[in-house]
Amino acid sequence: MRSFGKLAAAVAAALAVAPVTVLAQEPAPVKIGIITFLSGAAASPFGVPSRNAAEVVIEQLNAGKAPAPYATKGFGGAKIETVIIDENGTSTTQVTEYRNLVQRHNVDVVIGYVSSGNCIAVAPVAEELKKLTNFFDCGTPRIFEDGNYKYVFRTSPTATMDSVGAALYIKDAKPKLKSVAGINQNYAWGQDSWADFSASLKQLVPSVEVKTSQMPKLFAGQYNAEISTLLGAKADVIHSSFFDGDLEALILQAAPRGLFKKSTGILTAGETAMWKLAAQIPDGTVLGARGPFGPYAPKSELNTWFDKEFRDRYTVVPTYPSYQMAQAILGVKAAWEKAQAANGGARPSNEQVAAALENSTFEGPGGTVKMAIGKGHQAVMETVYGMSKVVGGKMTVTNVKRYSAEKVNPPEGIKSADWIAGGFKR
């Protein structure tokens, strides 16, 4: 017993003078709720490419393999985890799913939504729950023109940019333009797109005649009646902001009847279909990518990185929904780390990240993003249009024209419709 007591005392003494190694505690992960279409008509052309972008970008960020200024691991050193939700369903369903993300999954940030209707429904709920929410796509300008939010942002431009840019492009491309027609989806996105485009064109070409405006319901899928009306109208130009499976269905159904050969088509979201349906898109069709994305993205280290990683992972080119999702994640990362630095390195709150994102400027794979309108909550960017041309069986774009952010977006505090009606004054 005495020997055991002496041994215990010796061990205790040794432990008292032994150096103590304290392992640094791993920061708690940042949990992001990602919402996009994983089923339904919008999944293949929009939802899955944006989900894929989220996966590859977050994987690269967690590994610390993104280029500057995003080279730090995760968000400020904290690993990013995701909860991915299918956007398919009614806006009521999406509101319920949003509440589940925040209240059950306890996500730190929400990034999502393709549908403008879903964004309109979710925005006030995000404000109610005080959860930082970044809309990565949904283009209706109504979000920040009709509402005032602290926690809600959109790091992609609105449909106004698409519509004004389209009107500017078609005015130059068709100097003898006499008439125009439209086919757009009958909900916020389609209504706003057509209203802004037709009003912009009237400002630029006052004599232009609007032959017809077709407004089929969202995800209708069949457009033979509308195509017949458009063929009968014989307009010089046909405008469409169709996206998702509706865009593909329109192109496939219009091709055998020669709609876009008889009238120049201007497809503001056409870039998502240009690779898959190259054989059905006539040369000279005007294609937009909702900003400087895809084939219109500027040369930069960020764009080279994103394009390569996406192609290597999925063996297809990233289209503009993929660019928008990447941009949304990187914008929140930049704000998170700015807020963290200002907070002495401690994990920032939703309010601190929101304050850092507000009125910020950051770089994405599509170039410079300025949170310049909507009281600093809505992004503006340049936009780009070009004409389709199939060369050697592959789609290319020609006659590319770029329009600065100031040229195609209203100034702060002015509603899009009022800015257009006033002759684009700044």
pLDDT at 169 over 60: yes
* Cis peptide bond prior to 45, omega within 30° of 0: no
CA 405 from chain centre, in angstroms, equals 16
Q: How many domains does the chain have?
A: 2
Mean pLDDT, residues 370-376: 98
Q: What are phi and psi of 182, to 5 degrees?
A: -145, 150
Q: Are residues 231 and 269 in the same domain?
A: yes
Query: Looking at the domain assignment, is residue 426 inside a domain?
Result: no
Query: Looking at the domain assignment, is residue 266 inside a domain?
Result: yes
Q: Are residues 182 and 63 in the same domain?
A: no
pLDDT attached to residue 26: 86
pLDDT digits (tens, 9 = 90+) for 58-91: 999 999 999 999 999 999 999 999 999 999 999 9
Q: Are residues 291 and 403 in the same domain?
A: yes
CA distance 192 to 210: 16
Q: Which amino acid is at 187?
A: Y
Band (pLDDT 50/70/90 cuts) for residue 24 is low
CA distance 255 to 268: 18
Which residue range is the domain that position 198 belongs to?
A: 160-295+382-421
Q: Pick from 171, 405, 163, 173: which is nearest to 268 by CA?
A: 163
Q: Which amino acid is at 225?
A: A
Percent of the chain with pLDDT over 90: 91
Q: Reading across the β-sheet that carries 30-36, which strands appear in turn?
A: 80-86, 30-36, 109-112, 133-135, 152-154, 378-380, 367-373, 361-364
Percent of the chain with pLDDT over 70: 94
Query: Looking at the domain assignment, is residue 12 inside a domain?
Result: no
Do 121 and 255 form a contact (C-beta atoms < 8 A)?
A: no
Q: Are residues 276 and 394 in the same domain?
A: yes
pLDDT attached to residue 18: 44
Mean pLDDT, residues 329-358: 98
Q: Are residues 344 and 406 in the same domain?
A: no
Q: How far apart are the first and last CA of the chain?
A: 93
Q: Are residues 310 and 231 in the same domain?
A: no
Mean pLDDT, residues 238-248: 94
Q: Are residues 107 and 90 in the same domain?
A: yes
pLDDT attached to residue 22: 42
β-bridge mates for residue 367, sequence order:
364
pLDDT at 176 over 80: yes
Band (pLDDT 50/70/90 cuts) for residue 269 is very high
Q: Are residues 263 and 315 in the same domain?
A: no
CA distance 226 to 228: 5
Q: Are residues 111 and 166 in the same domain?
A: no
Output the average pLDDT for the chain: 94
Q: Which residues, in sequence order, are CB contacts of 344 under 8 Å at separation 6+?
A: none
Q: Are residues 225 and 301 in the same domain?
A: no
If DSSP states are collapsed to H, E and C, what string results for the chain?
CHHHHHHHHHHHHHHHHCCCCCCCCCCCCEEEEEEECCCCCCHHHHHHHHHHHHHHHHHHHHCCCCCCCCCCCCECCECEEEEEEECCCCHHHHHHHHHHHHHCCCCCEEEECCCHHHHHHHHHHHHHHCCCEEECCCCCCHHHHCCCCCCEEECCCCHHHHHHHHHHHHHHHCCCCCEEEEECCCCHHHHHHHHHHHHHHHHHCCCCEEEEEECCCCCCCCCHHHHHHHHHHCCCEEEECCCHHHHHHHHHHHHHHCHHHHCEEEECCCHHHHCCCHHHCCCCCEEECCCCCHHHCCCCHHHHHHHHHHHHHHCCCCCHHHHHHHHHHHHHHHHHHHHHHHCCCCCCCHHHHHHHHCCCEEEECCEEEEEEECCCCEEECCEEEEEEEEECCEEEEEEEEEECHHHHCCCCCCCHHHHHHCCCCC
User: How distant, in Å, are the alpha carbons of 19, 168, 222, 255, 290 from that of 248?
Assistant: 68, 25, 11, 11, 17
Give the CATH number, domain containing residue 356.
3.40.50.2300
CA distance 55 to 310: 10
Q: Are residues 400 and 255 in the same domain?
A: yes
Query: Looking at the domain assignment, is residue 180 inside a domain?
Result: yes
Q: Pick from 136, 106, 185, 191: which is nearest to 323 by CA?
A: 136
